Amino acid sequence: MERTLGEDELIVSKTDPKGILTYVNDVFLRISAYPEDAVLGQPHNMIRHPDMPRCVFKLLWDTIKSGQEIFAYVVNLAGDGAHYWVFAHVTPSFGPAGQIVGYHSNRRSPDRQAMEVIRPLYGQLVAEERRHSRPADALTASTAMLHEHADAVGGYERFVWSLEAARVGAR
């Protein structure tokens, strides 16, 4: 069963530097079908869907650990077995000395036209990952596929924003 966000809803969460949830808003709780006491103190990846490509998560973590923000399409798994797609903006939070003290993520409903591209692409990436018995080989192969696809339009960031352009143009 797929669950959707309202057009004006935002899922918000914060984690420590290791990805442990320190804050979630009411929309996160409702969409993920978890009570607050079941998520706070848990790894954010508790909502990771098995059909989410590992290479996208690696790109996400590599980017935010380097101190940069990233935008990505993500499919999550709710506590009741439902799933939900989001367009995520994840950014590091910095302490007074400039060190990363955690991460902040805002997620909103993805553009429907963008999902017509993302769903099959993610399906191909996951299928490639599942073809390999060694996790390192799976990640290498799917990462190469992701880069090949994104590089055709100028890189990952340009690829993501090309998909969001339809939404922006419609407003």
CATH number of the domain to which 52 belongs? 3.30.450.20
* 101 lies in some domain: yes
Which two tokens mark 137? 């080989």
* 138 lies in some domain: yes
Q: What mean pLDDT, rounded, does the chain reach? A: 93
pLDDT at 90 over 60: yes
Tens of pLDDT along 40-55?
999 999 899 999 999 9
Nearest to 143 by CA among 30, 39, 54, 16: 54
pLDDT at 171 over 60: no
* 3 lies in some domain: no
- The pTM of the full predicted model, rounded to 2 decimals, is 0.91
Tens of pLDDT along 95-127?
999 999 999 999 999 998 999 999 999 999 999
What percent of the chain clears pLDDT 90, i.e. is strictly above it? Answer: 90
Tens of pLDDT along 56-77?
999 999 999 999 999 999 999 9
Element (H, E) at 96: none
* 30 lies in some domain: yes
**The pLDDT value given to residue 168:** 56
Query: What is the C-alpha separation between 155 and 159, in angstroms, rounded?
Result: 6
**The pLDDT value given to residue 169:** 55
What number is the average pLDDT over the span 88-94? Answer: 97
* 4 lies in some domain: no
* 5 lies in some domain: no
Domain range for 78: 11-170
* 114 lies in some domain: yes
Number of structural domains the chain divides into: 1
